[in-house]
Structures are given as structure tokens and as C-alpha cells.
Structure 1
């Protein structure tokens, strides 16, 4: 009995290390997915880590051969995107929080450009946001994006192209003006 408790404690320690390492990256991705809604982003990361822990504690960690999941970071990203899409489907209201997105000082001073992009992403459909963030922020391949979103590679290519066209329309001349600064 004590032996099982020690193994569980070791798995818990492994998970805590994993969560500490990956939570910042998951949070940044969630902020992009939510169009800058930091509170929802925090909720999505917590839900993702909760789901990851439920899987983590049932197995022997992520050692090869103990789970069919070989890459916990990629698995966590998939859980995050599916959690986000599930949240959007459940939401019956189109309420958007009002208030300003907190401006974090960046080394490049490109906060206006960042805010403009976040506002444009927030006006896009959740599925379009998920595809754009995966493909162009996370630099995930078409095939991996299709697998994460449970879609076909052809559908991901089409959706990427259409989402980029919508983003260009939403940004209009604003992006060109901001990029030249």
C-alpha cells in the first residue's frame, strides 16, 4: 500500500513540474484563442491542467510504453484547443467583457499592433481563431492541426485560407499603418 502511495507521489511531483513548465505557454495560447480575455484564458488553462492531471495520475506518468501519449506538451495543447472549442459551443450568450486589455510592456513597443491583432482575432469565429493560432502562432503543421481539431488536412487548409482572408478584411489598412511604425 505504501509503495503505491510513493509512486503516486512521484507522479504528482512529475505533474507539478510539467504544469509549472507548460502553464505559461498554455496561457499565452489561451489568451490568443479568447481574443485577449485573460480571465477566460486562465479558466481554460486550469481546465486543461485538471484534465491533464486526471490522465496523468492514472498512468505511470508519460514514460514510453505506459501511455499511448508520447508528447505531453502536444497533448496538453490539444486538450486546450478542444476545451476552448467545447466552451464556445456551450456558451449560449454572446456577451463580451468590456474594459481594456491590460497593456503589458514589451521590448519592441508594439503594443498597439498587438492590441489591434487581438481585437481582430476576437471578432473572428472560435474555429477560425483556433486554426490561425495553431497554424501561425504555434507553428503547427496542417496534419497536426487537423488531428488536434479532429478534422481533415484539406479542411484545415481551406479554413486557414478563409480565416486569413477574413483577418485581412477585419484589419483593413490598420495593420499596414501599424507595421510601418
Structure 2
């Protein structure tokens, strides 16, 4: 029997004998059952990669538990990191979301509707330039085109947007004439 086949056989026997006990071990240590399945899969992946280092069968169970323990530690550290990252992202997104009153201002709704009426290329070049604040050379990098092509697209996109919106948008704020109409008096 070759050495490679011997290691594969040892791995198969270790897997068959220890899968369920390792799954139970992981289930008791994680919050979600699918996380336990991931821990066991990662444990056996490590065992497969290190099968030549695997101890004799009498000691393999403890060795696998040691591997599973390290995998669980990595899993928990990863969960803490993901939680911290999620919180940082939530903190960063709050001002961005709160700073865009676009859905509250009729003129901005008009612009959004006009943008939706543009082609994808025009819309993207306008949004990258005005909403993301990118320079034409930066937009060119994002779109994988030359800066000259961006300037040309931007000029055409502005003209098309102007055609859709018109030049006479009121300054940002409330539309007064909507609220200025007199309400009918009662009894008339």
C-alpha cells in the first residue's frame, strides 16, 4: 500500500468516526447551526491538507478537536471583526443617508425622473461626476475610457438632461405655489 493511499484511508476513517462528534462539539459552541457546519467543514479541510501530520488513529480524535478548537477561535474572531465592520459602516452611512433629502424636494425628484429617462451611459457619467464628485480623469478610470471620451459624454449627457428637465428649475426648497392656493371656505 502506498503512503498516499495510507494517508487517504486514515483520513476517510477519521472523517467517518469523527464527523458527528465534531458537529455536536461545534453546535454547542456557535449561535447558528449553519456556522457549526462551516466549522466542521473547515476542520476537515485542515485535516485533509495536513493529513501527513495526522497522528495515529488512537489519537486522531483529540487532534481533530484541537483543530476544531482553533477553527472556532478563528470563527469567533471573524464574527467580532464582521460585527465591528458592520457597526463602522452603519455609522458612516447614517450621515450619507440623512444628508440626501432628494426624496423630499420636488426639483430633485424631477431630476431623478429625468435621469431615469436617460441611457445607462449618460446616467452613469452624470452620476459619477455630480453625485460622486469625480473628476473626468477619475470617471475615465472607472469607465475604462479616455478622459476626452468622458468630457464628450458628459457634455452630451448634460444637454440631454437639460432637454428632459428644462432650464427653469426653481432654486432648491419648497414649491410655494402648491401651498399658496386658497382653501375653500366652509359653507360656500
TM-score tier (shorter): 0.3 to 0.5
Q: Which has the higher helix share?
A: 2
TM-score using structure 1 length: 0.46
- Please report the TM-score for the alignment, with normalisation by the length of structure 2: 0.44
Q: State which structure, 1 or 2, has the greater radius of gyration over its C-alpha atoms.
A: 2
